[in-house]
Amino acid sequence: MSTAARRTRLARELADRGLDGLFVTTLVNVRYLTGFTGSNGALLVPAEGDAVFLTDGRYRDQADAELPDLEHVITRDLLGGMAERTHPGTYGIESHTLSVDAHARLVELMAASSLRSAGRVVESLREVKDDAEVAALRSACDISTRALEQVLAGRLVGRTERQVARELENTMLDLGAEAIAFDTILASGPNTAIPHHSPTDRVLATGDLLKADFGARVDGYHADCTRTVVLGRADDWQREVHAAVRESQAAGLELLRDGVAVAASDTAARASLEAAGWLEAFTTGLGHGVGLEIHEDPFVSGTHAGKLTSRTVLTMEPGIYVPGRGGVRIEDTVLVTAGAPEVLTTMTKDLLEIG
């Protein structure tokens, strides 16, 4: 789907909501609607008529190259520039990201109009991916898993968490990633009990659990994958915990289907952990959407009131974390379909014993 088609969808949604237009000030939403990859920009999308893109002089040439189908306004006053191109009416704002000061200025600039929160209207459109988005996500996931497989085939014991994390990131870049999706979580031994551990100079040792939460970024789209392995032979406790997490993930994955309640997956995954006696050790969220942001709508929880839609991409990542001892997480990036969900991070989830 072209960016113009995305803007058309948004304009229809605005008209349905009784809005004359939307001030798009969230940069990732500007990118989704225009293709602009710079660091300063805004977009005025009217319910009727053509959208207008605004940025400052640093991005004049970039805007010409990336947005040939849009009118460009070059100004350092993005809010003022948008306000000047409106007529009296009712306009939506992205109140979840717009600052208090920016809102106050818009109220002043739009004295003849009214402003209303449009909620997460663009984010809701972003939940369902088009063919180009799915292709970028597939590529990012493929690069990610191939990179980890290469790293695990090399020497690990005797190296530090930080060294292995950097090798994993560099391997993703060597395989074609434009960037890493987020700061790599590489944890060993008791550090695996910390859900979002930052790599340290701890030296990997035989008998350690090793947890890698990582991803590549391709064309702006993020992969998210976690695998937990053992350096050497796994003991009974490590096998038990890994099996419990894998069974929980399978239960949650089964319900990532078109038309199924988002909360159903959360309920199933937690019920599996509870049956295994490990629910209290699961202290994080179960999953989230992934795309132009590493964490985006929808977020998988027992309180989510909506249903899944085909071509939504999200993660499934149960875990068990026992402070002082260790932890296991298994995470996949998953494409929701009308049938069985398609796992995009295709690396094995068996408990690998490395070395």
**Is residue 269 within 8 Å of 252, Cβ to Cβ?**
yes
d(C-alpha 188, C-alpha 194), whole Å:
10
Comparing CA positions, the residue from 154, 219, 218, 209 lying closest to residue 329 is 209
Query: What is the pLDDT at residue 1?
Result: 76
Query: What is the pLDDT at residue 93?
Result: 98
248-277 burial: b if 16+ Cβ within 10 Å, else e: bbbbbbbbbbeeeebbbbbbbbbebbeebe
Task: Please give the C-alpha separations between residue 178 and each of 139, 164, 331, in angstroms, as whole numbers.
Answer: 11, 20, 22
The tokens describing 184, both together, are: 């790599």
Burial class (CB in 10 A: 0-12, 13-18, 19+), 98: middle
**Is residue 304 within 8 Å of 263, Cβ to Cβ?**
yes
Which are the contacts of 266, defined by CB distance < 8 A and separation ≥ 6?
A: 252, 286, 300, 301, 302, 304
How many domains does the chain contain in total? Answer: 2
Q: Same domain for 216 and 258?
A: yes
Q: Same domain for 259 and 240?
A: yes
Dihedral angle sign, alpha carbons of residues 67, 69, 75, 76: negative
The CATH number of residue 65's host domain is 3.40.350.10
From the centroid of its chain, how far is CA 336?
A: 15
Q: Same domain for 250 and 338?
A: yes
Q: Same domain for 344 and 207?
A: yes
The residue out of 125, 141, 159 marking a domain boundary is 125
Q: Same domain for 84 and 142?
A: no
Q: Same domain for 248 and 266?
A: yes
Q: Same domain for 13 and 156?
A: no
pTM for the structure as a whole: 0.95
The residue out of 95, 110, 125 marking a domain boundary is 125
Outline where 127-261 has alpha helix (H): 131-152, 161-174, 236-254
Structural domain containing residue 84: 3-125
CB atoms within 10 A of CB 222: 26
The CATH number of residue 217's host domain is 3.90.230.10
Which are the contacts of 341, defined by CB distance < 8 A and separation ≥ 6?
A: 253, 254, 256, 257, 334, 335
Q: Same domain for 166 and 38?
A: no
Query: What is the pLDDT at residue 338?
Result: 87
Query: What is the pLDDT at residue 191?
Result: 98
Q: Same domain for 113 and 146?
A: no
Q: Same domain for 137 and 98?
A: no
Q: Same domain for 334 and 216?
A: yes
Q: Same domain for 114 and 149?
A: no
The residue out of 125, 143, 171 marking a domain boundary is 125
Q: Over the chain (355 residues), what is each successive 10-residue block's mean pLDDT?
A: 94 97 98 98 97 97 96 96 96 97 96 96 97 98 98 97 98 98 98 98 98 98 98 98 98 96 97 98 97 97 93 98 97 95 97 93
